[in-house]
Amino acid sequence: GQQVMQIPQYQHVQEGEDFTTYCNSSTTLSNIQWYKQRPGGHPVFLIQLVKSGEVKKQKRLTFQFGEAKKNSSLHITATQTTDVGTYFCAGIGGTSYGKLTFGQGTILTVHP
C-alpha cells in the first residue's frame, strides 16, 4: 500500500534558527496536506498543496510540493517557541480515493 515517510523524526533548534521537515511518498500523490499537533493536542490542518511544484507561504512557514508530486517539505524561518509540536504530512494517492495516509511526523522542540 501507499507509504509516506517523513524525516527527521526529531528536531531540536534554538529559537531563531530555521527548521525543515521532509516528506516522501512511495507513490504519486494527488495532493498533500500538512498538520500541526501541539503537545497534548490534536492535529490541526495547516494547508493543502495540489499542483506539481506548488509553493505556498503562511507567514514564516513555506510549503513545497515536488515536481513529481511524490515529495513535499515544510520550512519554518526563524523559529519561535510557539512553533513547538509535531508536524505531519499526509497524502492521498491515486488508489486511495479520499483517504489520507499520514507520515510519522517530526517532533520540533524550540529552545529559548
Partner 1 sequence: DVKVTQSSRYLVKRTGEKVFLECVQDMDHENMFWYRQDPGLGLRLIYFSYDVKMKEKGDIPEGYSVSREKKERFSLILESASTNQTSMYLCASSRVRTGTAGYTFGSGTRLTVV
Residues that bind partner 1 (CB under 8 A): 1, 6, 9, 30-31, 33, 35, 41-45, 48, 50, 88, 90, 92, 97-105
Q: What DSSP state is assigned to residue 7?
A: E
82: exposed, middle or buried (Cβ count in 10 Å: 0-12, 13-18, 19+):
exposed
Q: Which element (helix H / strand E) includes 74?
A: strand 71-76
What's the one-letter identity of residue 37? Answer: Q
Of the two residues 39 and 112, which places its CB atom closer to partner 1 in the complex?
39
Residue with cell 524525516: 7
Nearest distance from C-beta of residue 62 to partner 1, angstroms: 18
Of the two residues 51 and 78, which places its CB atom closer to partner 1 in the complex?
51
Nearest distance from C-beta of residue 57 to partner 1, angstroms: 17
Of the two residues 41 and 53, which places its CB atom closer to partner 1 in the complex?
41
Of the two residues 2 and 20, which places its CB atom closer to partner 1 in the complex?
2
Nearest distance from C-beta of residue 104 to partner 1, angstroms: 4
Buried b / exposed e over 35-53, threshold 16 CB at 10 Å, is: bbeeeeeebeebeebeeee
Nearest distance from C-beta of residue 98 to partner 1, angstroms: 4
